[in-house]
Amino acid sequence: MRTIFLLAIFASVVVGHTAHAAEQCDQVRFGIVDWTDVKATTAVASELLQALGYEVGISNQSVVDTYDAMANGEIDVFLGNWMPSMEPVADPLINDQKVERLRPNLKGAKYTLAVPQYVYDAGIKSFSDIAKFKDKFDNSVYGLEKGNDGNQLVLDMIDTNAFGLGQFNLVETSERIMLAQVNGKIRDQKWIVFLAWAPHPMNERFDIAYLEGGDDYFGPNKGDATVYTNTRAGFSEECANVAQLLENLEFSLAMEGEVMDMIMNQFVPQDRAARHWMNQNPDAVEAWLEGVTHRDGSQADAKAIAQSMKLTVSN
């Protein structure tokens, strides 16, 4: 009887400790910026976490504000650390141990300036060619939302007159409005130079070409990029189960392209697009959930979770 009594006490302590740990990490707060790819990957992560019993919060801010919020402990996770373009924003906080960089969640990405193919064919193949045709470009480079890291790189070029761009203006706007400008210019066969990236449906929707020569700003090979997962300092130690999921999350260009296409071109809400893709790709869900449990510590059934991601696209 004494042995049974001691075992019962031990079990109650373990359960109590597990419950305490679960309470400490009952909510995961994501930061996103106004880019469809980050919205898509964050939707995947948040839907998985909710299926595992976590509450999820999402805060949409600029890149700079997102990193400030992580450094201040107001945001836990950011899945959109595009490198090398975000190096000036992210690396100082990582070096100060206020933000942690986990593994890459996407390799083979791209982020730099691009033009329509007919503009490229007319001789705009490099950053150094842009200023030669400033009148055709209306002295403008089309960027993204204020605070975007790519915007800042373009502003640095303008401020230092790099590539002769000192007389150019940066048009700061949302992803959707920028792409509407690209669509209109291509329709009218006019010239435009703009921030472009992959994965993104723009690469299939428009015939565009990425420019050479921006290695010192956007990285070599026409802006080759790697996207990393970042967390606030100490998050992985406090929330080891969530951290395991984050370490498992690796996306592909094709996967992100499919989810983004649903969001942008089929007007499917991002959470439903993510659920639909996971329902159709249970093997990916199983890989992402390897070594991950429910918040209460019970085993996670990856196949059951994938099946629970009903085809909600039209619901």
CATH number at residue 188: 3.40.190.100
Hey, what amino acid is at 231?
Answer: T
Hey, what amino acid is at 85?
Answer: S
Domain with 288, as residue range(s), is 22-108+225-304
Question: Checking DSSP bridges between strand 140-142 and strand 169-171, what pairing results, if any?
Answer: parallel
24 or 307: which carries more pLDDT confidence? 307
- Say whether both 104 and 252 belong to one domain: yes
Q: What are phi and psi of 59, to 5 degrees?
A: -120, 125
Q: What is the pLDDT of residues 198-240, one digit of tens each?
A: 999 999 999 999 999 999 999 999 999 999 999 999 999 999 9
8 A C-beta contact, residue 192 and residue 182: yes
pLDDT for 87: 95
66-91 mean pLDDT = 97
- Say whether both 115 and 190 belong to one domain: yes
pLDDT for 311: 59
Q: 245, exposed or middle or buried, with CB in 10 Å at 0-12, 13-18, 19+? A: buried
Bridge partner list, 27 = 55
Domain count, the chain: 2
152-175 mean pLDDT = 97
Is the pLDDT confidence value at 140 over 80? yes
Q: Write out the two tokens for 293.
A: 């449990």
Domain annotation covers residue 13: no
- Say whether both 210 and 235 belong to one domain: no
Domain annotation covers residue 3: no
Hey, what amino acid is at 11?
Answer: A
Q: Of 190, 224, 258, which residue sits at a domain end?
A: 224
Domain annotation covers residue 271: yes
The alpha carbon dihedral of 67, 72, 74, 78 has a sign of positive
Q: What are phi and psi of 174, to 5 degrees?
A: -80, 165
DSSP structure class, residue 300: P
9-38 mean pLDDT = 67
- Say whether both 94 and 238 belong to one domain: yes
- The distance between the two most distant Cα atoms of the chain, rounded to a whole number of Å, is 91
- Say whether both 100 and 240 belong to one domain: yes
- Say whether both 54 and 192 belong to one domain: no
Can you give the CATH number for the domain in which 64 is found?
A: 3.40.190.10
- Say whether both 150 and 280 belong to one domain: no
Domain annotation covers residue 30: yes
